[in-house]
Amino acid sequence: EYVQYQFQNAELYISSPEQIPFRLPACLQYIGFGFLSTVPVVHVIQSYGIVLEHMEGWKLVYSGDTRPCSELVSAGKGASLLIHEATFDSDLSTEAQAKKHSTVKEALQVATEMEAHFTILTHFSQRYPKFATPILREEFAGKVAVAFDFMSIPLSRTHRLPSLLPVIQDIFAALVDEDDSNDTNYVTW
């Protein structure tokens, strides 16, 4: 029931890299996935998003680091869960463009265009600790949450995550206040 993942070096498990294409379908099927697709995204060379479709009918999309990307939107259409990076606050679009990351507003636009049922925003920059207020707008009520380190939640319970937003916002505010009093640009978690 939990959606957890950990990236592993396939060379540790397979004697030669040529065997990976033959073993991957069996591994996916073993954990219940009928389809995996990688989608080139707009970041550095060889950056990819991932689309996984489970045999029970739900779809998981993970953006990785990227600018908003129409290919990911198309591949992930109707996703049950979109995990999208939102490195920069919405008013830092110039910085986001320069560093090839997304703003909160852009990530939410991707979710809207993709018609994702639920979105978890992740990869917030500690240099810009302002809380992502666009996710509190009514149009996203109950459909958006923010990730935190070591977060693990069953897919069936993602609908509970938005209830944590006020608490997370208070924590963010306290950290920003503490950060301002220390006269530094970084938040310590």
Q: Which amino acid is at 126?
A: Q
Rounded to a whole number of angstroms, the CA Rg of the chain reads 18
What the block records as the tokens of 59 is: 């779809």
Mean pLDDT per 10-residue segment, the chain (189 residues):
56 50 73 86 86 93 91 95 87 85 90 94 68 60 81 85 79 62 40
Q: Which residues pair with 153 in a beta bridge?
A: none
- Distance, in Å, from the CA atom of 73 to the CA atom of 39, rounded to the nearest integer, reads 10
* pLDDT given at position 188: 31
pLDDT, residue 1, reads 54
How big is the CA angle at 47 (ends 43 and 52), to the nearest 5 degrees? 125
Predicted TM-score (pTM) of this structure: 0.75
Length in residues, the chain: 189
Q: What is the pLDDT of residue 52?
A: 92
Dihedral of the alpha carbons of 175, 181, 185, 186, in degrees to the nearest 10: -40
Nearby residues of 60 by Cβ (< 8 Å), 6 or more positions away: 3, 50, 51, 52, 53, 54, 79, 80, 81, 83, 155
Q: What residues have CB less than 8 Å from 32, skipping those under 6 apart?
A: 54, 55, 56
